[in-house]
Amino acid sequence: MTTFFLGIGVGLCILVFFVLYRVVFGPGIFNRVAAISAIGTKTLVILLIIGYLYDRIDMFVDISMVYALLNFIGTLAVAKYLEMEGERK
Amino acid sequence: MIHISDDIIIRTLARILVPFIQLYALYVIMHGHYSPGGGFQGGVILGASMVLLLITHGYGETKVRFSERGAVIFSSIGLLIYSGIGTLCLVFFGNFLDYGKLSTLLQVVPAHARSLGILGVELGVGFAVMAVMFSIFFDISTSGELPVDE
Amino acid sequence: MEVTLLVEAMDNSFRLMENAKTQAIELLNSAVRLTSETRAVEKKKFETIFTGAREARARVQNMIATFGILFVFWLVLSAKFDLFHLSLGVICSGVVTFMSHDLLFANVRVGDIRLMLWRFVTYIPWLLYQILLANFHVASLVLSPRMPIYPQVVCFKTKLESDMSWVTLANSITLTPGTITMDIREREFFVHALSKKVADDLSTGEMEDRVAHMYMEADHIYIQDVLDVAPIFGELRRTL
């Protein structure tokens, strides 16, 4: 069971690098924002898998909840800022 | 950036989530002994909840709960709690922030008094951090002038 | 004699045309007034979405309900049940309730809460099954070499009334892979769909019917009832 979760965690890390391509080369800002939000979702699951591997799942649930919250609020704030910039132009 | 959002989905989701975020922030402050957290982290989450309310519902709704003037007062209250507990330890013939000497005031063993003293200090830090986060976001996004009430 | 009849007939027809013209003008005026009234009423409904919950009668109920829910959430988070932590939980829930008590139940809606909760519990497995099916479909679309996607925007008017049901429907549509809710403007949904099959699944309206059934609004027209009644209607039309 540990090996199974370890394999899934490594697979998710490799998938993060695929999405990182969009963050670096995405034409325009909207592609980059959406890709960062997707990376945040994957990071959440990777944190939980690490918590299971270290056998301290209760601690890592707290950390991942905080990260989910900050990801959500961060994406909202960036979207609001871009809307305001678009209106001003 | 601080006016009421005209998207009904974001408004409804934000107003449902804010009490749970605030309760989670208080949980993180209170359980700093046992799990990752403490004063600064809880304060950041509290400030983030106020920022969420600000960018989705505008300043009119946030002013009822936590105005910009209240933020200034709150940061001072947080600092007062922190240095107040420290000075209270001085009064009881200890060093600054020597919580063991508070055991005569609270009628508990010194180890428990240290735990309660740290909890009080974390609370002060949390309040101060929340107020400063809110105040920094507000000042940067409005560049100093208060938004017109909608 | 014929001339008098002709003149009378022309008078009658002129009077009829005048009546028809005034009636048409009245109808247009009332239509304009009704749409502007509806818009004003909807705007006022959104602006007073908080003052409804701030009335003194509903405030105490809101506070107690919010306090209960928050305390249960605290108990789930912190699994320590000694007196010190329980009193801390009561104090923290009290502080948060005092600060944001009118946020959770902003527009109090009549209806049996227990029935709504039970219907919500039975709605979630159906939604998970739909997400599973849509996952397989989108994965087969993306992984095939020529990638047959036809992105389109589907607009439909919804029969749901309150903002909670709109948000539930929008979130269910976005959770299902292949569809994303872009905007809701004046009871009209703008949904971006990835392929024709996904758009067809959306426009049958089954998800909207289930959400309406769960929130107990506008569920007097259920698709299954219309399908049941259709052969009877056909029989009646043939015999009349």
Give domain status of residue B148, yes or no. no
Using a CB-CB distance cutoff of 8 angstroms, which residues of chain A are in contact with residue B36? 59, 62-63
Q: Mean pLDDT in chain B?
A: 88
Is residue B91 predicted with pLDDT exceeding 50? yes
Average pLDDT across each block of 10 residues of chain C; the chain has 240 residues. List them in order.
81 84 78 68 62 63 86 89 90 90 65 75 93 93 89 90 88 93 90 91 87 75 59 68
Work out the pLDDT band at B102, boundaries 50, 70, 90: confident
Residues C195 and C220 in one domain: yes
Return the number of other C-beta atoms located less than 10 Å from residue C49's C-beta.
Answer: 17
Supply the DSSP string of C63-121, one letter for each residue.
HHHHHHHHHHHHHHH----SHHHHHHHHHHHHHHHHHSTTSTTSS---S-HHHHHHHHH
Report whether pLDDT(B82) > 70. yes
Q: Determine, for residues B26 and C181 on separate chains, whether the beta-carbon distance falls below 8 Å.
A: no
| Residue C147 placed within a domain | yes
| CB of B15 less than 8 A from some CB of C | yes
**Are C88 and B30 a contacting pair at CB < 8 A?**
yes
Residue-number span of the structural domain to which C67 is assigned: 56-99
| Residue B67 located in a structural domain | yes
pLDDT score at B150: 43
The pLDDT of residue C233 is: 66
Model pLDDT for residues A5-48, shown as the tens digit of each residue: 999 999 999 999 999 999 999 899 999 999 999 999 999 999 99
pLDDT at B73 exceeding the cut of 90: yes
* Its pTM surpasses 0.90: no
Query: Is the domain of C181 the same as that of C210?
Result: yes
Distance from CA of A12 to the nearest CA of B (A): 25
Please state, in angstroms and as integers, the Cα–Cα distance from residue B72 to each residue in A14, B22, B50, following that order.
46, 19, 14
Number of domains in chain C: 2
| Pairwise CA distance, residues C100 & C119, whole Å | 28
Interface touch B35/A80, C-beta < 8 Å: no
Q: Domains in chain B: how many in total? A: 1
- CA distance, residue B47 to nearest chain A CA (Å): 11
Which H or E element spans position B30? helix B8-30
B117 in any annotated domain: yes
Residue range of the domain that includes A42: 2-88
pLDDT-derived band at B59, boundaries 50, 70, 90: confident
Compare CB distances from B48 to A62, A70, A80 and report the shortest one's residue: A70
Question: C239 CB contacts (<8 Å, ≥6 apart)?
Answer: none
Inside any domain, residue B147: no
Burial class (CB in 10 A: 0-12, 13-18, 19+), B45: buried
Q: What is the ipTM of this complex?
A: 0.87
Distance of CA C164 to the CA centre of its chain: 7
Band (pLDDT 50/70/90 cuts) for residue B26 is very high
pLDDT confidence of residue B21: 94
